[in-house]
Every structure is written in C-alpha cells, then in structure tokens.
Chains A and B, each alone.
Chain A
Amino acid sequence: MTRRSAYLNARLLDPASGLDVRGGLLAVDGKIADFGPRVFADGVPGGVDVVVDCEGLCLAPGLVDMRVQIGEPGAEEKETIPTASRAAAAGGITSLVCLPGTEPPIDDVSTLEFIARRAREAKLVKIFVAPAVTRGLEGRQLTEMGLLAEEGAVAFTDGHQAVADAAVMARALNYAKVFDKPIMQHPEEPSLSAGGQMNAGERATRLGLKGINRLAEVMMIERDLRLVELTGGRYHAAHLSTGAAVEAIRAAKRRGLPVTCDTAPPYFALTEVDVGDYRTFAKLSPPLRGEMDRRAIVEGLADGTIDAVASDHRPHDQDSKRVPFDQAAAGGVGLETLLPLVLELHHKGTLTLLDALALVTHRPAAILGMEAGRMRVGAPADLVLFDPDVPWKIEERALRSKSKNTPFDKRPTQGRAVRTVVDGRTVFLHGH
C-alpha cells in the first residue's frame, strides 16, 4: 500500500540548496517524491491520502538538534525518551542526538541499543546517539568506538565533562579517525573551572559566587587544536560561549584543520546579567558570559565560523533548581525554543532566513554524517511547517518537557512550528 501526502501552497525552503520558492511537495511512503513550484500548481491529482494546505507558511527540512541530554536511563523524573520526543516534535525537531550523561552513561553497545529501542517505541522523532569517549565518562579508558559506530553512533563525547587528559584526547582523536567520527569536546579546562558557579567578573564578585574564567574555554580548545594537528582526527567544539574560542576556531579553519563547532541559544541571546539575583535557571555550563562575548558569538554565527546551533537541552526538576545557587544543577531545557531563538538571528538581521535555518538543519547533519536536514527527492520526508513571524511568549508552564527549567521564561519571541512530519507522518500539529 503506497501512502501519499501532498503539501500545497507552501513556501519551500531548503538551506542546503538555497531553495526559497512557493510550491508544493509530494511525499510517498515516507520519502520525498517530488517538490517545487510546479508541483500541485494545477491542484491535487487523485490517489493522494493526505492533503495539507500550508497556507503560505514555510515548509523546510525538519530541525536537527545535535546536543540533547535526556534523563533516560537513570533520571526519568527529569525527562524520558517519550517526553523529550514530544517536546522535540513540538519544536519542529525531527532528528536529535542524545548525549551520554545518563545513569549508567551511554558508553557501550547495550545502552545504545536500549536508547534505540525506546526511541522506536516512542515513534515520534529520530533519536541518534553520541556515546561517551571514555568509559563511565571517567576520562581514562576509551569506549568501544568501533562497535558503537557500527551500531549508529554519530560522534563521541563525554557530554558536559571535558576530556581533560591530553594523552587520552590524543588517542581518542587518533582512534576515531578509523570510523570517521568527530570527537565532540566540552571545552573547559577543569582545573580552572572547578567549583565555579557563573562567569568570573564583577557580577560573580557582587553575588559572592565563585567565578569561571572565560579563558578556561579557549585554553582547552587551543590545546585540542594542537592535538588535532598531531593526529589529523576530527574535532568538534561544543557550545562556544566566548569570543576567544570563536577566534581560535576561525584561525584553525583558516589553517585547514578538520574542526567544527556549535553554540546554543543562551550564548547569543542572554548574558550573565540574566543570572540576576541568583536565578538558578540561568545557571548553565558553560556559564552565561558578558555582552562582548555574546556579540562575538553572534559575529561567529554571521561569518560562518560557528557551524551549528544546538538546543543544549538539559532538563532538571525543581529539586535540582530550587536550591541555593552553589547546589543548583547547571543547564536549561531548549527543545521547544530552539526554532524561535534561531529565527531571532533572522529577525534581527544577522542572518538570512535560509542561513539561520542552515544552522539547525543540513550543517549539523553534515558534521555528524546524518541523512537529515535536506530537502531532496528520495530523502526521508522529515519536515517542519512553520510560521516564521507569529509572535508568542515563552512560558515555562506551557512547555511539554517533563522539566521546565528554561532560562528564557517570559521572553517574547517570534516564529513557531505548526506541523512536524517524520517519515511522512505528522508527529506534531499545533493546537492539537
């Protein structure tokens, strides 16, 4: 039984090819069969099962979120695979990459298979895995990268912990070359950031909180870049938060090193000022920085140095956040706010609509070698239909994530997903 879906009257957007045209799209059996200005120009032919009138809204490849922490296994009270999947679908995300910071950590094939099975059961969005670089995230022994790669691992990372030991990092970069997978680093020199609660500087001094110097980020990146030169391994620096780090990556790219990086919305949309009077929801890792660094991140996005934007989704329940700042867990949820915050870059004139979308579609997919993020005949029909301009206000209570710890509560924003489609099947419909 073939199953056909028709999308009419859409503004078709494909950042990878630069397509921006009014037209239609036909999906057959979960794959894109045809699209373009002439498709359905003369109305819908017979034999189509589902007809979606897009009413002029944007139809684009579904979002690819390359950094998502889920609580399963071990912290199901914070987020499960089904709740994260629902939140992702509501945010227009069709593929996400989960980080290994679970309990136990995702550091062997059996845990990876567990995630894959749970994702299949949830049957909403596609869940990929970036397993640990080191066993138990302990920074010492390498995981079975080859076996994990065979089971679909898209990258290796110790999540929110840096691979601190230089010899271990060199070996990881070297070994992962065989399987052509990047090592995704949390770039923070731990001996410098230990015990730190927020960005070092005047605000930390006033609040009496231990600071994390911004140099902790670029120091780790500069060390790693030497190791990339040494080994030729692929390196990805996660969630950049400082101008110095952007500059280091920019220079490394100019030298032709196999290096990529991403940032997350808090680092281009918020600053340490948002910590206010001990707001633990604004306690993130890396910490929110000052205005100069925020601008440097925007600049890095504008000139293409920063390859991708990830949600950096990190759910925490009340017990982890309604505590004194020193004790509060770091991180914020982000699946449902990724699209509007990336669209802010377009609305503020930093990037064109297509360039903004590229940061959350084909560019992260290319880094991770995923078949996603492109509108192409024969590709899976993973799509998002969104209104780029509709104004709304982010409200923590309205979030679908099991945890509500967004640093963006009450922020007025623009643009949201109306319908999310995975393999031709609608997994989210706004208002339903």
Chain B
Amino acid sequence: MTAEPLAFRHRHLLGLEGLRADEIDLILDLADGYVAQNRQADRKNALLRGRTIINLFFENSTRTRTSFELAGKRLGADVINMSVATSSVKKGETLIDTAMTLNAMHADVMVVRHPESGAVKLLADKVTGSVINAGDGTHEHPTQALLDALTIRRRKGRLAGLVVTICGDILHSRVARSNIHLLNAVGATVRVVGPPTLIPSEVENLGVEVHHRMSTGLAGADIVMMLRLQQERMQGQYVPSFREYFRFYGLDYEKLAAAKPDALIMHPGPMNRGVEIDSEVADDINRSVILDQVELGVAVRMAMLDLLTRRERTNAQ
C-alpha cells in the first residue's frame, strides 16, 4: 500500500455516534481501494500476516460473520470464529469471562456481536486489543452503516445533500441508529418512516424527520433503505399482521413512485420478501443495490481492520 493516512483516532469501533465527517471519509476512501483489490484475480495481501482476529458472536449471523471472516483473510490475518450460546441464565458472567479468556490469547482485533445493547462496550473495556462492534442489541451496527454509505457514495458520487429515507422497524434497529448518526455527520437529510409503534421515543432529537406514511416519507427521496421486520414482533404486538404491514409499509412500485425516479433501494438483509419488500422491487437491477451492499461490506470491514491495527503495526516496525 502507498502513503498510508494517519492512524485512526479511536482504538475501537463501537458505534458511529460522535464520529466526524473526515473520519468517515477516511474509512470510505480506504474501503474504495479495497473494492478494487477484491475485484482482482489475486484478492489477498499480507498486511495483517501473523495477526489474529477473533469473530465472537453471541447471536446468530451468517452474512456479517462471513463478511468479517473474508475481510480478515484477504488481509492475510488468522481468523477464528467463535459462536457462544446465550441461552444460559448467567449470560453476563460468560461475557466477561469469555472476554478475559480471549484477551489472554492476544487477539489483535475482536469482532463482537451481542444481543444486548452496550454489551460490546462492556467487553471492550476488558481487553487490550481493538474491538469492532458487529451489532449490539438495538444500539449500533457501525460497519453496516459504513457499507451503506460506501454503496451510496459510489452510486451517487456524494452523500451530502441527499435525502435518505429509512423505513420500517426503527425501534428495534441498530442499523437505523448507526445510519442516522453517519448520515447526519456527512450532511445528508434523514427521514424515518414506520408505524408509530415502531418509532423510538424522541428519535427526532437524533436528527431525523419522522413520517408515518410512505407517500410523504418517500417523497423526493434519493435513497430508500428498507429494514428487516423481525417476525417475532408481528402478531399483534407492534403491528397487527403481515398483510396489514405490507399494505402500508411494504415497498412496492406504487409506493416507490413517490421517490425520485433514480432513487436507490437498499436492504441490510436478510429480506422478508412480501413483508417489508416486494420481490420484484428487491430484484430490480436498475434500482436495487442490495447485492452491491454485500460486496462492499467486505471492503469496508477490510478498511476497518486495516485502520484499527495501524498504530500497533507502526509500533511493531
């Protein structure tokens, strides 16, 4: 690699709240470079050779874990995956104990997903290496928002000034929170749309416009971000039924017509076809960038692994 930018100011990536626009640009610029690398025949380099990355997942995930694993391997690191059952009553003990145990193995980076908000921070306080939050409860999922931003920037050429509408279950979405923080930092306009039962309290104070109708929420939008609706939250608890939800909040061509003609459709996956998004719309190669998101996810995670290990690598030289 040529002339590396300064090391990242933060030891961990626990969330995007408080991250500055120039820091986000730094990550995205670096990730752009890794996109190019990933499209070459030889996709591997040796930047992190001899380094250890532990993927510690307290919650099931295939795509995020695979994406981090691939990112680590493409940088030449040794990657270990650990899935920890969370069914035991004393989950907290497991968390701290696991953190201390893994810390003793000198992992350079730990990538952690946990079903509870704040758990990744608790763990980060106990380890000597860097920690990347791969999703904690309903708090943040920073690399997802970064890959979303990279996807938008590559398609639209910019982030500032765009109107981005996030639709669906905002209440339980860590992806929504990370996106709100990032998009506000870079000067985009952020809207959220969903039934009032799925909009968190005082979310407007995070810098978003709140809408309850897709027609107004999508009006003039450049980007339409759909969120996954957790099936267990249906059946009358937050929304009366799937079909009612789809009728009012499922993305189909009719509702999409309110957005700009060149509006892009995004989804963090995995999709519930026919619940939050119509299959035809999801597969529309002119509008949907859902597969781009998957590809760019690897590049963004490579960029983060690179950045967070820079100080340590410089010291080691």
Q: Which residues of A contact B (CB under 8 A)?
A: 200-202, 204-209, 211, 213, 277-278, 319, 322-328
Contacts and interface: CB of A to CB of B under 8 A. Distances in A.
A202 B92 contact: no
Nearest to A323: B92
Contacts of B93: 319, 323
A205 B136 contact: no
Contact of A324 (B91, B174, B177, B202): B91
Nearest to B139: A208
B76 interface: no
B201 A204 contact: yes
DSSP class of A's interface residues: helix, strand, loop or mixed? loop
B181 to A, nearest CB: 9
Contacts of A328: 92
Contacts of A327: 91-92, 116
Contact of A209 (B91, B117, B122, B203): B117
Given A208-B136, A319-B93, A327-B92, A278 B205 contact: no
Given A323-B91, A324-B117, A202 B205 contact: yes
Interface string B86-121: 000011110110000000000000000010111101
B206 A324 contact: no
Interface residues of B, number: 27
Pick the most buried of A204, A323, A327: most chain B CB atoms within 10 A of its CB: A323
Contacts of A213: 201
Interface of B: 17, 90-93, 95-96, 114, 116-119, 121-122, 136-140, 174, 177, 200-203, 205-206
A324 B201 contact: no
Given A208-B174, A277-B118, 16 more contacts: A202-B203, A202-B206, A204-B200, A205-B201, A205-B202, A208-B137, A208-B139, A208-B177, A209-B118, A209-B137, A324-B117, A324-B118, A324-B119, A325-B116, A326-B117, A328-B92
A279 B90 CA distance: 19
Contacts of B92: 319, 322-324, 327-328
A207 B15 CA distance: 10
A211 B91 contact: no
A322 B123 CA distance: 10
Contacts of A206: 17, 177, 206
A209 B138 CA distance: 7
Contacts of B91: 323-324, 327
Given A323-B91, A323-B95, A205 B117 contact: no
B150 to A, nearest CB: 23
A221 to B, nearest CB: 21
A326 B205 contact: no
Contacts of B95: 323-324
B134 to A, nearest CB: 14
B114 to A, nearest CB: 7
Contacts of B17: 206
A325 B137 CA distance: 11
